[in-house]
């Protein structure tokens, strides 16, 4: 008797994700703060850590399936530069890379050149507010949105009115997405109504611009706080919840990802609204990007495997992804100068 090998769950992503149209998502309108729901949040830390530890070891994706997953990861990248020495020049180079994230000869060799290859682009370019106009102009006509960090990023210690003014200025400058930071003190002191009111006001200031709410999870003390803050921010109307600023000593980790994605799933099951998720900071290798994609697939399902609902906040990871794709095509790793970021 002959048998055919059953595909693993990891292989079920289409091998040509770049030509798949982005789905239209009904925006999360938020809801009144439900403290009974928030207080019910519980996290079994040891169970979460065991679950997170299993993600890099239980699934392996090889050959053409790995290449397909890596192409999908590229479409979910928020290419980011948030350094003190940022200049218009390096933002322009980052935007050029966002338009063409992988060398054309590699796309042609994988059969996703031509029209499909032309559609391969990142999810967004994320910069400080003062460089939003530079990025907007560089990306004009590409369909790639510009995201601006705001509300006193990264510490979030600016006066509240100033935070609202920052959001307004970024939106007026052309930012289609705004990555806001919450006041961690509201979480650490258990002032959930203040957190809700703050994020609700930020959402109103964003208008049509999508709001990604940065929790800065390393600074929230406990995984339960992470889960509770995730729920409150979604109730306040967050379009995405995001792990980190990238400036904390510890940024995106898989245990935090498990807690946050399960909060997203619970919110969807109760309200019917899908909220996006963005891990950011510390994701530097192609293998790590696959780990996060696997987490999304297993915890939230295929609906979240696109840049409408999933982003990876990183830049250096793109160089390693391109390096792995080069190995898939040629059998050799390309020298670093073939995969420059900026």
Is residue 242 part of the annotated active site? The answer reads yes
Q: How far out from the chain centre does Cα 219 lie?
A: 19
Q: Are 41 and 232 in contact (CB under 8 A)?
A: no
Rounded Cα gap, residues 329 and 105, in angstroms: 10
Rounded Cα gap, residues 86 and 131, in angstroms: 9
Give the other-Cβ count within 10 Å of 208's Cβ.
7
Give the other-Cβ count within 10 Å of 53's Cβ.
12
Q: Are 231 and 37 in contact (CB under 8 A)?
A: yes
Task: State the DSSP code for 51.
Answer: H
Task: State the DSSP code for 125.
Answer: E
Residue for token digits 């439900």?
Answer: 34
- Active-site residue, selected from the candidate residues 163, 212, 278, 297: 278
Strand bridging mode 177-181 / 240-242: unpaired
- Active-site residue, selected from the candidate residues 97, 163, 212, 242: 242
Task: State the DSSP code for 330.
Answer: H
Closest CA to 101 of 80, 85, 79: 79
Task: Classify 227 as helix, strand or coil.
Answer: helix
Q: Are 252 and 288 in contact (CB under 8 A)?
A: no
Give the other-Cβ count within 10 Å of 38's Cβ.
18
Is residue 6 part of the annotated active site? The answer reads no
Q: Are 9 and 294 in contact (CB under 8 A)?
A: no
Q: Are 280 and 243 in contact (CB under 8 A)?
A: yes
- Active-site residue, selected from the candidate residues 97, 163, 179, 291: 179
Active-site positions? Answer: 179, 242, 278
């Amino acid at each position: 008797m002959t048998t055919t090998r059953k595909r693993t769950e990891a292989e079920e992503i289409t091998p040509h994700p770049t030509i798949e149209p982005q789905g239209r998502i009904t925006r999360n309108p938020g809801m009144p703060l439900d403290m009974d729901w928030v207080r019910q949040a519980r996290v079994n830390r040891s169970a979460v850590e065991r679950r997170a530890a299993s993600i890099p070891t239980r699934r392996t994706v090889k050959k053409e399936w790995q290449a397909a997953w890596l192409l999908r990861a590229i479409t979910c990248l928020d290419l980011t530069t948030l350094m003190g020495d940022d200049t218009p020049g390096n933002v322009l180079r980052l935007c050029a890379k966002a338009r063409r994230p992988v060398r054309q000869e590699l796309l042609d060799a994988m059969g996703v050149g031509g029209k499909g290859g032309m559609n391969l682009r990142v999810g967004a370019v994320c910069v400080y507010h003062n460089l939003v106009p530079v990025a907007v102009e560089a990306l004009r006509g590409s369909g790639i949105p510009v995201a601006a960090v705001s509300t006193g990023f990264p510490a979030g210690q600016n006066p509240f009115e100033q935070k609202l003014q920052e959001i307004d200025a970024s939106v007026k400058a052309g930012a289609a997405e705004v990555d806001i930071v919450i006041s961690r003190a509201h979480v650490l002191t258990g002032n959930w109504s203040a957190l809700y009111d703050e994020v609700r006001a930020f959402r109103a200031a964003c208008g049509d611009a999508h709001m990604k709410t940065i929790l800065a999870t390393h600074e929230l003390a406990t995984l339960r706080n992470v889960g509770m803050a995730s729920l409150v921010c979604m109730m306040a109307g967050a379009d995405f919840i995001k792990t980190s600023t990238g400036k904390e000593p510890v940024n995106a980790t898989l245990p935090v990802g498990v807690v946050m994605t399960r909060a997203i799933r619970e919110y969807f099951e109760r309200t019917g609204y899908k909220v996006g998720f963005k891990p950011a900071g510390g994701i530097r290798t192609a293998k790590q990007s696959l780990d996060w994609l696997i987490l999304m697939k297993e915890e939230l399902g295929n609906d979240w495997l696109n840049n409408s609902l999933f982003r990876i906040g990183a830049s250096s990871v793109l160089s390693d992804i391109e390096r792995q794709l080069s190995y898939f095509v040629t059998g050799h790793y390309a020298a670093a100068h073939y995969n420059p970021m900026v």
